[in-house]
Structure 1
Amino acid sequence: MDPFSLQNKVILITGASSGIGRSCSVECSRRGADLILIGRNHDELMKTASLLDPKSKVEVVTEDITQTDNLETMIARNVLILGKISGFIHCAGIEKTLPLKKHSSALYRDIFEINVIAGFEIAKILSLKKYKDETASFVFIASVAGMVGEPGKAAYSASKGAVISGARSLAMELCRSNIRVNSISPAMINTPILEKMFEDIGEDASLEITREHPLGIGNPEDVAYACVFLLSDASKWITGTNIVVDGGYSAH
């Protein structure tokens, strides 16, 4: 038996319509998982679904996960179709880089709603016996911004720090239910969000950011491979940790 296989596992992935979420969906599918893909953009979710291994069963859910009252109904419906959940990846998130004077209470709320609260609410529901497999693994996509200071990212960094510390507490609480909980902290990853940011800040600033990563800017699959490991039985003795996938950024 391959300990890295995801055969016979049902994985729920938020933010599956692009970037890291899309790559996680593809890599989980390649290793035999069936998938529940959640995102706000139906067309992009269908594009993700078209990239999956044809043997994977997939349910596509177009949903705003900040509307937390709808979450349990949506999860119950999909568990009925595909079976109990073995894994969960919270990839959905938003990033804002703004000077502190432009931060507002609304900005903090918007970022925390999607980056932190929605993920923890889903974890709460998936931890119930009626929805989870005998054993399960939850993975939260955090960020190196939750570990090191970066100008203009007070709200974003705070949200990702909350993800890292919250995941540790969930790990301690949910281990009695045979659920492992970990986070992954990437640095800059080559996604549409990064491309837009590089366009906005110009070539010189973009080159400077690239140089801060000794191994260069990462690709979504670099994070997806770490997710596959944490979802698989190969990591069955790992919980409450934060895996840094940053091309050496935080080693400076």
Structure 2
Amino acid sequence: MTTENKTVIVTGSSRGIGKAIAIAFAKTGANIVLNGRNPIPAELIAEIQSYGAKVHTILGDMSDFDKAKQLIDETKEVFGSIDVLVNNAGITNDKLLMRMSEDDFDQTLSVNLKGTFNTIRHATKVMLKQRSGTIINMSSVVGLVGNVGQANYAASKAGVIGLTKSAARELAARGITVNAIAPGFIETEMTDVLSDKMKEVAVGQVPLKRFGNVDDVARVAVFLSENNYITGQVINVDGGMVMNG
């Protein structure tokens, strides 16, 4: 599927990976719906428009079932279709298990996993009628291998993988593909705060001996939207950090 004049929703698209994905799709000529809990930066909207793309912003926390419905309904009303849904919105709240509160765990799963379910749940109604659509869920290599201090985050991202595979099986008959991307260490505001020592340790775990960048992830999202014979897969963008053989 070419995404020219198609409609692409990217949740959590005000910065980092989500921002890069939105820009990558704008360059293909798609209509872009930006989403975040806080106002979308004016410079991002201007950049997307500079590629000739139509852009619409819808604010809201996707862990709220009704807000997710509003995102889908308003997108359909504005652009007439929903061709690609990228579930990128997510949070981290890292603590060792013995210090992790119930709220620390619940909030992370609510945003990362339930939020992904919420948007899929509402978008499928539109995509089933269209008999087409692409859903791309953002997981993480942590969801595959775990990580110290990230039990909540790892559980949420592992859950996203299970959700992805189940949705892929349910929706395939109507021509809808569902895949997940599992980034490794990617240069974002989240990795900028790491100390040089921590970055050195992290890079030591990556066979390519460097962090990835947000465009590495964005290109995979566009690729998945263009290939309608890939579904139920988890694509690692991690420099070889996790090799499943």
Higher mean C-alpha displacement, 125-134 vs 100-109:
125-134
Alpha-carbon shift at residue 251 of structure 1 (Å): 3.4
Question: What are the superposed Cα offsets for residues 29-86 of structure 1, whole Å, 9 maximum, x if unpaired?
Answer: 1011101110112143x33222214411110112122222232233212211112100
Q: Please, what TM-score do these two structures have when normalized by structure 2? A: 0.93
The 5 Å alignment of 1:94-113 reads 94-113=91-110
The 5 Å alignment of 1:175-186 reads 175-186=172-183
Q: Please, what TM-score do these two structures have when normalized by structure 1? A: 0.91
3-state SS, counterpart of residue 117 of structure 2: helix
Higher mean C-alpha displacement, 239-248 vs 146-155:
146-155
Q: What is the total number of aligned residue pairs between the two structures?
A: 242
Q: CA RMSD in A?
A: 1.7
CA contact 1:84–1:131 (8 Å) conserved in 2: no
User: Separation in 1 of the partners of 2:25 and 2:34?
Assistant: 11
Tell me: CA distance 1:179–1:120, structure 2 relative to 1, closer, same or farther (3 Å).
same
User: Separation in 2 of the partners of 1:131 and 1:73?
Assistant: 18
3-state SS, counterpart of residue 50 of structure 1: helix
Given candidates 189, 199, 208, the residue that maps to 2:201 is: 208
User: Separation in 2 of the partners of 1:97 and 1:248?
Assistant: 24
Tell me: CA distance 1:80–1:193, structure 2 relative to 1, closer, same or farther (3 Å).
same
User: Separation in 2 of the partners of 1:77 and 1:115?
Assistant: 22
Tell me: CA distance 1:43–1:166, structure 2 relative to 1, closer, same or farther (3 Å).
closer
Given candidates 207, 213, 225, the residue that maps to 2:219 is: 225
User: Separation in 1 of the partners of 2:45 and 2:97?
Assistant: 39
2:155 is the alignment partner of 1:158: yes
User: Separation in 2 of the partners of 1:181 and 1:244?
Assistant: 15
- Where structure 2 has 5 or more consecutive residues not aligned to the other structure, the ranges are none
Runs of at least 4 residues of structure 1 off by over 4 A?
none
Among all aligned residue pairs of Structure 1 and Structure 2, give the percentage whose two residues are the same amino acid. Answer: 29
What residue in structure 2 maps to residue 50 of structure 1? 46
Given candidates 232, 235, 242, the residue that maps to 1:250 is: 242
